[in-house]
Amino acid sequence: MPDLENPFQETLLSRHRAEPCTVVIFGATGDLTNRKLIPAFYNIAACGDLPPQFKVVGFARRDKSDEVFRSELEAGNRKNSRQGHSDELWESFSRCIHYHRSEFEDPAGYVNLKLLLDKFDHERGTPANRLFYLASAPEAFKSILEMLRATGLNEGVGGKWARVVCEKPFGKDLASARALNEVVNATFHESDTYRIDHYLGKETAQNIMVLRFANALFEPNWNSRYIDHIQITCAENLGMEGGRGGYYDTAGALRDMVQNHLFQLLSLVAMEPPTDLSADSVRDEKVKVIRALRPLVGPEAVGQNVIRAQYTAGSVDGAPRVGYRQEDRVNPESKTEAYVALRLFIDTWRWQGVPFYIRVGKQLPKKATEISIHFKKPPQVPFATSKLLKNSENTLVIRIQPDEGIALRILCKQPGQAMRMQQVKLDFRYSSSFGKASPEAYERLLLDAMAGDATLFARRDEVENAWKFIDEIEHAWHQAATPPPMCEYPAGSWGPKEADDLLGQDGREWRLL
Ligand code: BG6
């Protein structure tokens, strides 16, 4: 029974009724469609959540038939589907997949696309609901949007809807993000615009609001009175595999991960409670966090609070790895960071004086994303004579991935005559508590876009405010007369010594993962 006194309940229950629609994927021959999007639709179908009369149209430049396109996607689905691959389900599911060949800049291609979509709607007697998914190289976004507008495909016909999903990267600085937003908003209303950040689709990221606002145990303590500091770590044990070096070297860790994924996690951890779970209530609160970030302006402030680094040759899990500058498609004289650590402050009432330490990097010892909340120690007067361990504060660890869950570290008395204390861990694991794997982030996000729920997508002001903050750091790194140094760390280590010093200066340490 819904709990009618709980204002969150109705919104939670009424979500995810995806409506009949056609999804058009631009750049459909790319890796994303094969590895993520089609397996996500297939798994939505396997869970029985695909809307009736659903269709996907792949729009790309290469010449190929529906059959060839389907068989390429079948191979991808066998490899990447979360719930495995059933020939029977694939047989029926794949009938909804079609291919449309066109250049992104060719008006005739869009006229033909419109005819094709109209034909589908006519044959099936379905409403003309359309979701346009921009999964091409970002340079093509502008042309695609202009062509959609020129053909009128951006307008919902007869009360039906037309929406756009934009893949990342959404710009590479504030100016380019603004320019792109101008084109997007000249074509689609902001409420029909879905900027993907796949971290928001992760089950554990969605759980942050529930943990904070639905538990009496945590909510009253979630502020500068009780919290000493917060750490967010996103470690990856891979480098530039699969030709990623070309893109990555133009971006770097700060643009690739911090501006979007890590700022989204930061917002969820630091935001004020929204009045309800509507898309705008949640995003209004999130954007306030980004706006309240204390700006880091100029090489001195940036040098004191931000550490950038590249990996040198080393080994991860016993396997040798080359240094960043020796990676495929990376400039041998590259000035792009593969690791970044930041000390941030959020200038709000709740967070006065609480540092947020963020670190993210490639070729670290393992893949793990977590948020740890380090509480202040109580006076501990009665235990003044007992030997207290270093780092004995209560710590709440939210494991975003892998091994999704939440752990709370508390002090306990060791059994025995003496008053000796030891830290113990109370551990909640999604896999054992819920017994089934969580949906993939893309499944949730695609369902939301088809249901018209933009809560887990970035709004224009979130993206632009995040770039505004990031631009100052990029400026100090690349345009200052005496820029802060580029540090180094061997592949397979936990990052440069300077990042340890960043916390060391404050009498703190990175949590061991
Ligand atoms: C992407 C970045 O957005 O996220 C990649 O471009 C990164 O560089 C990836 O590897 C990490 O995503 P996940 O879900 O594997 O943590």
CATH number at residue 106: 3.40.50.720
The string of pLDDT tens digits covering residues 127-145 is: 889 999 999 999 999 999 9
Residue 422 lies in a domain: no
User: From CA 149, how far away is CA 155, in angstroms rounded?
Assistant: 8
Separation of CA 256 and ligand 1 centre (Å): 8
- The model carries a pTM of 0.94
Whether residues 31 and 129 fall in one domain: yes
Separation of CA 197 and ligand 1 centre (Å): 10
Residue 436 lies in a domain: no
User: From CA 58, how far away is CA 66, in angstroms rounded?
Assistant: 9
The string of pLDDT tens digits covering residues 383-406 is: 766 666 666 889 999 999 998 999
Cβ–Cβ under 8 Å, residues 219 and 356? no
User: From CA 321, how far away is CA 339, in angstroms rounded?
Assistant: 16
Whether residues 149 and 266 fall in one domain: no
Which atom of ligand 1 is closest in space to residue 202's alpha carbon?
14
> Of 112, 145, 167, which marks where a domain is finished?
167
**What residues are in contact with ligand 1 under a 6 Å CB criterion?**
168, 198, 236, 256, 369
Which atom of ligand 1 is closest in space to residue 248's alpha carbon?
8
Whether residues 102 and 234 fall in one domain: no
SS (H, E, C) 337-376: CCEEEEEECECCCCCCCCCEEEEEECCCCCCEEEEEEEEC
Whether residues 219 and 310 fall in one domain: yes
Which atom of ligand 1 is closest in space to residue 251's alpha carbon?
6
- Of the residues 98, 100, 261, 374, only one is catalytic, namely 261
Residue 224 lies in a domain: yes
- Please choose from 35, 200, 249, 257 the residue to mutate so as to test ligand 1's pocket, defined by most ligand atoms within 8 A of CB: 257
Whether residues 139 and 211 fall in one domain: no
Separation of CA 298 and ligand 1 centre (Å): 29
pLDDT score recorded for residue 493: 98
The string of pLDDT tens digits covering residues 461-496 is: 999 999 999 999 999 999 999 999 999 999 999 999
pLDDT band for 2, please (50, 70, 90 cuts): very low
What is the average per-residue pLDDT within 332-340?
Answer: 98
Task: Write the residue with the smallest CA distance to atom 13 of ligand 1.
Answer: 199
Task: Write the residue with the smallest CA distance to atom 10 of ligand 1.
Answer: 236
Whether residues 205 and 149 fall in one domain: no
Which atom of ligand 1 is closest in space to residue 260's alpha carbon?
3
Give the three-class secondary structure for 100.
strand
In this structure, of 51-55, 274-278, 417-421, the range with the lowest mean pLDDT score is: 417-421
Whether residues 154 and 292 fall in one domain: no
Residue 396 lies in a domain: no
Whether residues 272 and 346 fall in one domain: yes
Q: How many Cβ atoms from other residues are within 10 Å of residue 225's Cβ?
A: 11
Q: Taking 90 as the threshold, does the pLDDT of residue 378 lie above it?
A: no
Residue 143 lies in a domain: yes
Q: Taking 50 as the threshold, does the pLDDT of residue 356 lie above it?
A: yes
Separation of CA 489 and ligand 1 centre (Å): 20
Task: Write the residue with the smallest CA distance to atom 6 of ligand 1.
Answer: 256
Whether residues 132 and 234 fall in one domain: no
Whether residues 231 and 325 fall in one domain: yes
Mean per-residue pLDDT of the chain: 93
Cβ–Cβ under 8 Å, residues 8 and 277? yes
Give which of 285, 226, 240, 293 is closest to 468, Cα–Cα: 293
Residue 485 lies in a domain: yes
Whether residues 129 and 213 fall in one domain: no
pLDDT band for 416, please (50, 70, 90 cuts): very high
Separation of CA 243 and ligand 1 centre (Å): 14
> Of 143, 167, 191, which marks where a domain is finished?
167
Whether residues 89 and 143 fall in one domain: yes
Give which of 54, 88, 90 is closest to 73, Cα–Cα: 90
Separation of CA 441 and ligand 1 centre (Å): 12
Which atom of ligand 1 is closest in space to residue 401's alpha carbon?
16
Looking at the chain, the whole-number percentage of residues with pLDDT higher than 90 is 85
Look up the domain containing 114 and give its range.
9-167
Residue 26 lies in a domain: yes
- Please choose from 198, 336, 366, 444 the residue to mutate so as to test ligand 1's pocket, defined by most ligand atoms within 8 A of CB: 198
Separation of CA 257 and ligand 1 centre (Å): 7
Number of domains in the chain: 2
Q: How many Cβ atoms from other residues are within 10 Å of residue 322's Cβ?
A: 17
Residue 48 lies in a domain: yes
Q: Taking 70 as the threshold, does the pLDDT of residue 183 lie above it?
A: yes
Which atom of ligand 1 is closest in space to residue 244's alpha carbon?
8
Residue 187 — φ and ψ, nearest 5°? Answer: -110, -40
pLDDT score recorded for residue 18: 86
Residue 3 — φ and ψ, nearest 5°? Answer: -90, 100
CATH number for the domain including 206?
3.30.360.10
Q: How many Cβ atoms from other residues are within 10 Å of residue 144's Cβ?
A: 22
- CA-CA-CA-CA torsion sign (48, 51, 53, 57): negative
Residue 261 annotated in active site: yes
